[in-house]
Every structure is written in structure tokens, then in C-alpha cells.
Structure 1
Amino acid sequence: MNTLPINWLTEGLIDFEYKKYLLLAYLQAAKEEFGHQRLYPVFSDLIMHYRNLLQVKEHKKLVYESFPQRISRADFEKLELVYEKIVEDDETMQQIEEIVQYAAPLFGEAVESGKELYDFVERHIEISPVGITPIYHDEGYLFLEAFPSKETQVYVYRITVFENTYEKYRGINTRHLQTVRRGLALTHENLKVQLLRERQELPNPATFAVVSKIPVPLENSLLPIAKRSLVKYVANLAA
């Protein structure tokens, strides 16, 4: 997909028409991804760019937490220094402000489209516990079933808590273990028992099944949304 650099606003030629060309090409590519129901990674990328634009628009500064993990603190400080020099240049800053004014509502519309797709997929998945759920829910197995596939994807998951300047939030890591073909004899409960026999590192794992009722891409939509939905589901169990 046509991507937009993290520092697209200040990188290269700072000209309204040029930046408009880059932006529209990027947003068209994002729209095509959503049209194929491929939500990630473009949705998180859009949110990052939109948040950064709003910070620039409101405060005329960049905020490190608005950027994804792929940018280091050292790289951000270099980018921040470049931006501070631009702010001091009235003519260049006027160009930046015009670009921001033009881009912000377009990013807002694109993010809203992503939210609608996210909500649509989330409404069409079902989460249910498999067997008896232990008190500790932050580590265990995730059974993921796409539609209309006859296979179950088995993952180990671990939920961790992070904090940034704005809030405390939960993240989830998953590791794919295996793919099994579903059948009358291989229920979710039987699969959990089989895993307990084969793997000793999780003697009493929380196990959840996430089943999709609509066809969506596994890696780009179903798995990321299933992971986030599981985090919310587990948080409610612990509440």
C-alpha cells in the first residue's frame, strides 16, 4: 500500500500542492484497503497521523506519544528540532498551517471510516470462555475461527498493562501455536484438554474462543480486532 512517512508534514518540499498530492494518494490507498476489509495496519497509521496533526494544529508542536513505537526517542528529538526551526520561519509555517487545515478533516473522515469498519467486524464476532475460567485471565489460549473456514487458529496470549502520558491501558501479545481442523470430535473443550496434555507451561490456562460470523481477512482485521476484543472481555471479567 502507498504509505505516508511519519514526518511527511516537514519532510522534503514544503509546498501545499505537493503535500496535497501525497496526502490524497495515501488516503485513496487507505480507502482501497478498507474496501477490501483490510483494517490494519492502515487504521492505526491513520490514527497516528491524525493525532499528530491535531497536536500541531492546536499547540504547534509535536508530541512523542502520538508517534508509533517504530520511531525512537532520538529520532523524534531530531524531528522535533526540525519542526521548531520551521515554526520560527513565518513563510514556511504559513504553508504548514494551510496543509494542516486541509488535511485534518480528511484524516478525520478516514479515521471515522476505519472506526465504522472496526465496529462492523466487532459486532460480528462472538467471544466465549472454553471450560472453567481460572481467576487469572491475563495469560492463556485464544482459539480463533474465521468464516467460512473449517480451521481453528490456536494462539498463546498474554495481556500486559502499559502507561503513557495520557492513560493506563492494556496491551496483548499473541503467538501462533498451530492450526487444527474442526470436526465433531474436536470441540473447543477437547482441544483445550489436548493442549493441557501436550503443553506443561500453562497448567491452568484461561481459554477463550473467538468466532467470526462474516468473512474478513484474518491477519489484517480478524486477529487484531479479536485481540482487542479479548482484552476488553478479560477486563470485564476482572472488574
Structure 2
Amino acid sequence: MSRNTLNLDLFTQVQSDFEMRQYKVLASLKTISEDFQHNRIYPHLSDLIELRTTLLDIKKRLEDLRNDFPKRIKNIDLVNKIIEHEVVFVDGSDLSRVEDLIEWAIPHIEAKIEEGKALYEYVDEEIRIEEVGILPNYLDEGYFFVPDNEEAKLLLFEYEVSIFESAQDEYRALKTAFLKALHQGQVLLSPNSIKLELIRENQKLPNPATYSFQTKLDFPFNETIFPVVKRKLMQQLAEAS
């Protein structure tokens, strides 16, 4: 994470400093909460959700091992999700401390996730998306416009949707590229006029799908407005496809 030390090492290398680990978890969560109070959602919210998922997975695996393979754990390989064990697993071992810390930390992490979700939902409700002109049948490439009210600018982006498959599922990814910023005076142009100007500048998209976002929020652009806009655009494209 960007401004704190809330990571997996904090939970898997407990040893004898259990209370210090608790203190570090609370200090990191306090930093995240301060960012939420300053309307900065990302990367904290997505990082917290991913951390919770990983900790719950580790907790479940450790519980299964305790029930099925009562041996002392020698090493936890988080990258490959492998747990090596050797002798009898007893309470008071390092692994037991790992379990205790995870059990203690999860409710604190979930409370911060709910705090971040509430902020996200508020921002999502305060951002509107509109189609600009007539949409073509092909929606996987196009443009979108987003206001940065902190800087009194309208930012223009190009987007492209790509699809890739895993063994289990199919995923859609959104690639964006910044084009240019229009300052306050230029923002008086209508969205359709801006779209026509982009068509003149870029002949490869003669009839691009184009979306305009509107909001009165003056929240941080990179940490809040833009991530919410991208998710909103992906939802719009998924519903239209």
C-alpha cells in the first residue's frame, strides 16, 4: 500500500512481537481512515479487499490443516499458497500467533472496508454518465470526458476494451489513454462539439462511441474520481453489449 505498511508480512512473521504487530495494524488502518476522510478512495479500498480475501484464505487453510494434519507448520509460502509442516502443531507456536493475529485483525479491516465502500457509493451516485450523439454498434473503442473540478478542467480520454480468458472465466479489461485537457473556458463547448473535434483529429475512429461524465464533486481525481468513472464506464459498456 502506498502510505502504510499493511501487508502480508505483517501477519505471517509474528514471532514474539504480537502486540507490536497489533499496533502496526491499527496505525496503518488509521492512516487509511484519514485518507478516506480526505475523500481518497484508492488504492486503499481495493488493497483492503484483496488483503481480507487473502487473510481469510490463509485462515481457512490453517484451520483445515489443524483439523486434518495436526503437525507443526514449518513455513508458509504465500506466493505458491503452500504450507510446509513437520512436527506436532501446538498452541503457542508461531503459527498459532499468526492465526490469532489474523482472527483479531479481520474485523478491524472489514470496518475500514465498509468505510471505504460508503465513500465509494456516495461518489458513484454523484457522477452521471451520458451518451454523446448516436452510439455505433461497436463499443469496444471510443472516447470519454471527465471533469477534474479541483483543477477546473475537462479531461479527454480514449478507451479500448480487451477480452482475455482464463481456464475458468472470461474477463474484460479497460485500457485508457489520456488525450488532452480543456481549461475552464473551453469546457463551455458542448460534448458533441468536442466529439466532432476528436473525430477530425483521429481518423481511425470515424464514428466512435463517446461518453460524457458530469459531477459537481471536487474530490481528488486520480485517487477517487477517475477510478469510479472507469468502473462506471465498464458497467455501461457491459450492459450495452
Match of 1:218 in 2: 221
- Given residue 210 of structure 2, which amino acid in structure 1 is its aligned partner? T
> Is contact 1:86-1:93 (8 Å) kept?
no
Match of 1:196 in 2: 199
Greater CA radius of gyration, 1 or 2?
2
- Given residue 111 of structure 1, which amino acid in structure 2 is its aligned partner? I
Match of 1:93 in 2: 95
- Unaligned 5+ runs, structure 1: 62-73
Match of 1:46 in 2: 48
Q: 1:50 to 1:122 in 2, by over 3 A?
A: same
Match of 1:141 in 2: 143
Cα deviation for residue 195 of structure 1 reads: 0.6
Q: 1:25 to 1:119 in 2, by over 3 A?
A: same
Q: 1:27 to 1:166 in 2, by over 3 A?
A: farther
Q: 1:230 to 1:14 in 2, by over 3 A?
A: farther
Match of 1:106 in 2: 108
Match of 1:160 in 2: 162
Using structure 1 for the length normalisation, give the TM-score.
0.83
Equivalent position to 1:173, from 172, 175, 180: 175
> Is contact 2:13-2:98 (8 Å) kept?
no
Q: Secondary structure at the match of 1:175?
A: strand
Equivalent position to 1:206, from 209, 216, 222: 209
Q: 1:232 to 1:42 in 2, by over 3 A?
A: same
Q: Please list the CA deviations of residues 139-159 of structure 1 after superposition, one character each: whole Å capped at 9, or x if unmatched.
A: 111100133654210011112
Cα deviation for residue 60 of structure 1 reads: 2.5
- Unaligned 5+ runs, structure 2: 64-76
Q: Secondary structure at the match of 2:199?
A: helix
Q: What is the CA RMSD across the aligned residues, in angstroms?
A: 2.6
- Given residue 22 of structure 1, which amino acid in structure 2 is its aligned partner? K
Equivalent position to 1:232, from 224, 232, 235: 235
